[in-house]
Structure 1
């Protein structure tokens, strides 16, 4: 079995570009990862990785070796999943990623319920708004919102997101309610990651540039500003749904509301038979609003 020693460690370093992160993924020390990869390179008499103080990257030989090793490891994982399918119980590690705000409010509670139902599964979930490359990062399942780029990933729609333009009753009392998109230029619009808002006008999607005295890259900060009467805001339902129901915020320009966006579960094709992935997707599909 000596020829297999260091392969898992090398693949983990190649995918995370870090000995430390590879050790955390595998549950072993950074030193052990370094020793195993070094021994592998010595055994192969080939340099697989470039090491600097800032980054680890693969050599040309490393790229070639990684592709073959990844196929072998995927085959072993598929064999284990096949055995798990025969037993009918999901088990093992499930790596996930989801957007930060949506993940905190909706995904994590469902994941916790899933772990109660299937205690033999271990979940490693990272909340990030960065688009992670699933196969390269070893991710089994990703939650994405909105339009999807064309890819080889399998996608299942599990929920939807609704964007509202809204403001506090106090703000609307002082500055009036806009009834057309042209009136937005006379209002203080609270800006998020983009300086435009999206609408549907006469059946066509439209992006409208907005301006205001606050720019903030978090929905929670924009919600607080809107509640305090600073201006109009466009936010998804999971930020301000309860505020709309309670009357703390009032939805405006409803005639121009853009179409609802999909919330998607994405997973690589080579993982579509995994019992834990399949059950997690079904669990999310049933539980999400």
Structure 2
């Protein structure tokens, strides 16, 4: 006799409150349900129900047993869905969000590649630098950069994100090269979305407020100003890597480079991801890894 025998019947009776209703739910006869529950009580040597002519109610032992049985049922269904979805075709509507510049440059092209492979998928992407609430907005997925704040979400690391302090050779010829964090105060710093730049000194993170005569909340605009020799910039690797390789920009204070942050895929907490989200996350992780490897090669 299987240890599972009678569990589904027991849960159905407990949730329906009647043997007749439980029989209708499971498509069995009332006598079959009653027999399975009685055999289960005999195996457990415990009474699970108080029975009356109209309804049944759980004993204390039955209430405890019901909680465990419901979790077992949930786990069994989860396992069956997971196996069924391994080869599941991504389809239906997928709604996601990402920061504007990073999304346009990296994420959207990879998502478009994914769409070409899965024509049954429908897609809505909102590119915004405002962090949207996935639960309130009904979003399936968000791509976030840097450090994470929302603990209600599950995060998968897609790629590293390294910040670089750098400047054009023209600027350094005119104003010299900083050799310590304290010297940044006398340099013109090109400020993006924040005037708080992050560094690492003696193994600890340090935030430093910088000043300059130029500011814009666009990474591409900051990069253009830096390449023209207007001042120092601190930007992620995906903006400056090729320019560091070519010599158009020079890395500065590399020993104080801040600890790596990351590019993250975030989605609402749930034990089982739909094929469309799971496979897209895997596609993005693979694509970003390949791009990183290519950017580290010869220019």
**TM-score normalised by the chain length of structure 2:** 0.67
Secondary structure of 1:264's match?
Answer: strand
- The corresponding residue for 2:206 is 206
- The corresponding residue for 1:30 is none
Distance 2:217 2:87 in 1: 46
Secondary structure of 2:157's match?
Answer: strand
Distance 1:273 1:182 in 2: 48
Distance 1:251 1:197 in 2: 15
Per-residue deviation, residues 204-244 of structure 1 (Å, max 9, x unmatched): 00011111111111111111111111110111112122111
Distance 2:268 2:148 in 1: 14
Q: Please list, as runs of the form range in 1=range in 2, the aligned pairs for 1:95-174 lying within 5 A after superposition.
A: 95-174=95-174
Distance 2:267 2:210 in 1: 36
* CA pair 271-120 structure 1, distance change in 2 beyond 3 A: farther
Secondary structure of 1:273's match?
Answer: coil
Secondary structure of 1:88's match?
Answer: coil
Cα offset, 1:159, TM superposition: 0.5
The structure number with the bigger radius of gyration is 2
Distance 2:222 2:203 in 1: 28
Secondary structure of 2:191's match?
Answer: coil
Q: Please list, as runs of the form range in 1=range in 2, the aligned pairs for 1:1-289 lying within 5 A after superposition.
A: 85=85, 88-270=88-270, 272-288=272-288, 289=292
Cα offset, 1:282, TM superposition: 0.6
Distance 2:242 2:272 in 1: 36
* CA pair 240-87 structure 1, distance change in 2 beyond 3 A: closer
Cα offset, 1:84, TM superposition: 7.9
* CA pair 271-102 structure 1, distance change in 2 beyond 3 A: farther
Taking only aligned residues, the RMSD between alpha carbons, in angstroms, comes to 2.0
Distance 1:171 1:246 in 2: 16
Distance 2:271 2:133 in 1: 15
Distance 2:241 2:231 in 1: 18
Cα offset, 1:162, TM superposition: 0.9
Structure 2 unaligned runs (5+)?
Answer: 1-77, 293-299
**TM-score normalised by the chain length of structure 1:** 0.69
* CA pair 179-122 structure 1, distance change in 2 beyond 3 A: same
Structure 1 unaligned runs (5+)?
Answer: 1-77
Q: How many aligned residue pairs are there? A: 210
Distance 1:173 1:241 in 2: 21
Q: 1:167–1:226: 8 Å Cα contact kept in structure 2? A: yes
Cα offset, 1:269, TM superposition: 2.1
Which runs of at least 4 in structure 1 moved beyond 4 Å after TM superposition? 81-84
